[in-house]
Structure 1
Amino acid sequence: MNNLCVAHRGFSAKAPENTHAAIKMAMNEPFVNWMEIDVQLTRDGVPIVIHDYSVDRTTSGKGKVKDLTWQEIRRMDAGVWKGREFQGEQVPSLDEVLQLVKGRLKLNIELKTSGDMYPGLEEAVLDRIHAHGMISEIVLTSFEPKSLLRAKKIDPEVQVGLIIDAHPRDLLSRLKKIGCSFLSIGYSHLDAAFADELIRNGITPMAWTVDDKRSMASLAKMSPEIMICTNRPDTWGQLFLNKIAPRIPFWRRKWRGWF
């Protein structure tokens, strides 16, 4: 059970998703190797870390991200919805998150877009990644193949991965056409044979979103190469602490030469 643990939007089961609190809480978990975050653009072109296309659910404000400026979103409370102890949390910029995790966690950055909703999103995100010297520490993922192709055109060296909650027959060929070395897939669509096929073709699978021990253990049995994305990295840690499998020292963990 050598699988890598990916904290979904930080430690989102306990802290408000995609905030400093959730990120720091995930970083304090010894079993977390990666973190998944979502990035969109404000009206004035600032890449920020937020999941929904509107701010309504996770902040004290209202409106679509693309229609609001960075300063308008910055004034919103992004934590109190999760609990009073998180009051005052803010929506972070991508810059802030990159600075916080550099050298400590790898990042799966979802380019959160639909069609041409965010012209220039890929360029803006890659610009900030290069500014922090972190191109080797990230993978860009998206439900939108065109967004991944744009990212590869801007920087052919960037690692990209498709997000999908299905398993169409031509999925492997789609991944190859895009140039993916990563697949983010709803865990119910992954089985041992498909995981093995992906790995043989140089594509690392990540299963999402897995919060119970039984499903985690089942995926781990399929292959040690499957990355497991969870809102509950503490539950993943309990599998090790309960000696279901030996813990692998961090310095020995690898994902295709990225460690």
Structure 2
Amino acid sequence: MPALPAAFTTHPVAHRALHDAGAGVIENSPAAIDRAVRAGYGIEIDLQLSADGVPMVFHDGTLDRLTAARGPVRDRTARELGDIRLNGSEDRIPTLAQVLDRIGGSVPLLIELKDQSGGMSEADTALEEATAKVLADYTGDVAVMSFNPHMMAAMQRLAPDLPRGLTTCGYVPSQWPRLLPEACAALRAISAFDAVGAGFISHDWTDLANPRVAELKAQGVPVLCWTVKSHEVDAEARKIADNVTFEGYLPQVRPAHD
């Protein structure tokens, strides 16, 4: 399996890039990308698919929370989505290709492919195929991950040399009403890790005491965690995690020899 580049453990990862809504810098926006690059942070972004098969850098499946538009992202073309302004800023929704151009390999990029099935099940692989195509010629440090193991299985087939991992958590059934209890149990156990050729996990920091996390760490698997929101939690999470995905504070970039 492809190894996670070392930069992912030395550069704290800005959650949805280095956003600050109060300053007009919106999550996953070009301005947030540029701000993270200037600060030397790693960047985490989310991907949804446009109607014409273009990976768009946007967290939600619908436009309602972050824009004045309404409805599913997947109902609009990339051109239409690129014309939609993000609330509180002049930025528009970028494509993955545009974000890659802005980063240019200067900092590590962690890409989360958002579940397209609605329930962590198998769906069409259009997002995975489009993502693999866009990333094919990118030479910077990049890795992909998803809560949905089926999506990483697809990436294993489509881009076998691309580092891939699983986004994981405790999967408390009451917090995942679309999932059957047995599905929650399998996901909580990170049971698909080997099957999808994963090389790392990004785990909910509140569940880092999970025995399965300790088991993977003992095997030398890099453990990232999400989403840390203070220096105090940062220090606590790093007792187990190799790096943090953060927002709301500014952690230090660690020297490469740490």
TMscore range, shorter length:
0.7 to 0.9
Structure 2: how far apart are the matches of 1:58 and 1:8?
A: 16
Distance 1:146 1:125 in 2: 15
Alignment partner for residue 7 of structure 1, among 4, 14, 20?
14
Structure 2 residue 243 is matched with structure 1 residue 227 = yes
For the residues of structure 2 that align with 1:67 and 1:117, how far apart are their CA atoms?
17
Distance 2:14 2:62 in 1: 22
Count, aligned residues = 229
Answer yes or no: is the 8 Å Cα contact 1:122–1:147 preserved in 2: yes
1:146 to 122, 145, 150: 150
Question: Please, what TM-score do these two structures have when normalized by structure 1?
Answer: 0.80
State the percentage of identical aligned residues.
28
1:175-186 aligned within 5 A: 175-186=193-204
Q: Kindly tell me: are residues 138 and 21 of structure 1, through their superposed partners in 2, closer, same or farther at Cα, counting changes over 3 Å? A: same
1:11/1:233 contact within 8 Å kept: no
SS in 1 for 2:150: helix
Residues 22-73 of structure 1: CA distance to partner in whole angstroms, max 9, x if unpaired? 111111224x2x2110011100111110000011111221110111111211
Equivalent position amino acid for 1:165 in 2: C
SS at the partner of 2:245?
strand
Q: Residues of 1 paired with 2:160 and 2:30: CA distance?
A: 31
2:71 is the counterpart of 1:53: no
Rounded to whole Å, the distance in 2 between the matches of 1:4 and 1:253 is 12
1:196 Cα deviation from its structure 2 partner:
4.8
Task: Give the Cα–Cα distance (whole angstroms) in 2 for the partners of residues 117 and 19 of structure 1.
Answer: 27
The two structures, once aligned, show a CA RMSD in angstroms of: 2.4
The CA distance in 1 between the partners of 2:108 and 2:17, in whole Å, is: 12
How high is the TM-score relative to the length of structure 2?
A: 0.80
Which ranges in structure 2 are unaligned for 5 or more consecutive residues? 1-8, 172-184
Q: How does 1:1-259 map to 2 (within 5 A)?
A: 4-14=11-21, 15-30=25-40, 32=41, 34-78=42-86, 81=87, 83=88, 86=89, 88-115=90-117, 119-134=125-140, 137-166=141-170, 171=189, 173-191=191-209, 196-220=214-238, 222-223=239-240, 226-234=242-250, 236-237=251-252, 248-249=254-255, 252=256
| Structure 1: runs of 5 or more not aligned | 238-246, 255-259
1:248 to partner: Cα distance: 4.0
Structure 1: distance between partners of 2:211 and 2:71: 44
User: How far apart, in 2, do the equivalents of 1:5 and 1:25 lie?
Assistant: 14
